[in-house]
Amino acid sequence: MRTDMRRSAAPPRLDDLDRRLGHALQLDGRAAFSRIAEVLGVSDQTVARRWAKLRATGSMRVLGLTEPDVLGETVWLVRVSTTPDAAVPLAEALARRADTSWVGLMAGGTEVSVVARSGSGRSRDGGEALLLRELPRTPRVLAVTAYCRLHQFFGGAEGLILKSGMLSPEQVAALSPPAPRPPAEPVRLTAEDERLLAVLAQDGRTPVPELVAATGWSASTVRRRVAELRASGVLYFDVEYATHVFDNGLRAAVLLSVPPAKLHATGQALAAHPQVAFACATTGPANLFLTVVVKDSEALYAYLTGPVAELPDVQHVESYPLVRTLNSRAPAPCRPDRCAARGCPAGVVAGEPSARWRKVSARWRQGRSRRSRRG
């Protein structure tokens, strides 16, 4: 579930059919419009027209994403404290990396929250994320704290839209594909797989001819490989939607401390809350992490003092509103010359320490020092 698509000045008017379509595509992102239309009780043309409108207005899109556990990857939750002028360029740089799956700016503008992956070819050491080694050396980064995700209670293919209740249980059953069956060993992707997944990360409903052009495979091979990746659990589809779709304008990170003996039960209880878009157990003093999506600050207060406060084993709670989220499922390459021109930490983007960025940063600090002395 992603709720950070840019909205237009005047959000389009949506109705429950639009939301039911979003629910249907969360269940099966590549379902044929004819199948969705049959289940929703409308015509194929209506579904196609509604989806075209949702895409054109930036209200919804489908992304094809990968499941880290099936690929043998480790997930890290990273908090980065920066100087006020560095937070935005750093967040934008991190969002372009191949080993980050989510980046957000915390309220206050001096902290960046990152979900990063390591292992499965992303890092030669197979454990410590390259990102974690680079960040402490990045200019204007003041502190880095990283927690390892131990267990996921909700998230990934289980998008928040599934809790919306827009479809009946019968409709959900009719549209749900067979559950994936991950293999015992991590799946290894080929170069062609990577190209296929890169296209699907931009648009999960990319037509087969375009996937053929990206991979060099035949149409039948493309269809077969997509089916294999879905069946193994490597590939799933997620609906990204703008905040106006469900009128949920506030996203917050919530960290909770729970005794180990009660961790699993509490995590399962939190995962069932309709406000929780992501829930996992982590290392660190706060051993539960949530992403909460609500209408506004009053709704967040009501959630923390209501459903969360009612859980008997929660000992400590911290909450941090997010002022902006940046998607990084389909990272774009960063040109070093443009990075330097806009103050972007190119070493962080490129995935390796950058002498170029260190020189640019040194010149920036020297110029700032001279301006300060003149002032």
Lowest mean pLDDT among 88-102, 129-143, 173-187, 346-360: 346-360
What pLDDT is recorded for position 130? 63
Determine the Cα angle at 233 with ends 228 and 239, to 5°.
Answer: 105
Q: How far apart are CA 19 and CA 37, in angstroms?
A: 13
What pLDDT is recorded for position 294? 96
Q: Which residues of 30-50 are buried (b: 16+ CB within 10 A; e: fewer)?
A: bbebeebbebbebeeebbeeb
Instruction: Residue 205: name the closest of 357, 12, 26 by CA.
Output: 26
Most confident of 103-107, 131-135, 291-295, 343-347: 291-295
What pLDDT is recorded for position 99? 83
Q: Which residues of 243-277 are buried (b: 16+ CB within 10 A; e: fewer)?
A: bbbbebebbbbbbbbbeeeebeebbebbbebebbb
pLDDT digits (tens, 9 = 90+) for 7-45: 445 778 899 999 999 999 999 999 999 999 999 999 999
The predicted model gives 128-143 an average pLDDT of 81
pLDDT digits (tens, 9 = 90+) for 266-291: 999 999 999 999 999 999 999 999 99
pLDDT higher than threshold 60 for residue 244:
yes
- Structural tokens at position 73: 């990857």
Instruction: Residue 5: name the closest of 65, 43, 56 by CA.
Output: 56
pLDDT higher than threshold 70 for residue 318:
yes
Sorted by sequence, the CB contacts under 8 Å of residue 100 that are 6+ apart come out as 94, 114, 115, 116, 117, 131, 328, 331
What pLDDT is recorded for position 134? 83
Confidence label for 131 from pLDDT (cuts 50, 70 and 90): confident
Name the more confident of 321 and 3: 321
Instruction: Residue 122: name the closest of 104, 103, 94, 97 by CA.
Output: 97
pLDDT digits (tens, 9 = 90+) for 324-370: 888 645 433 333 343 444 344 444 444 333 444 344 344 434 544 44
- Structural tokens at position 203: 């648009």
- Structural Rg of the chain based on CA atoms: 22
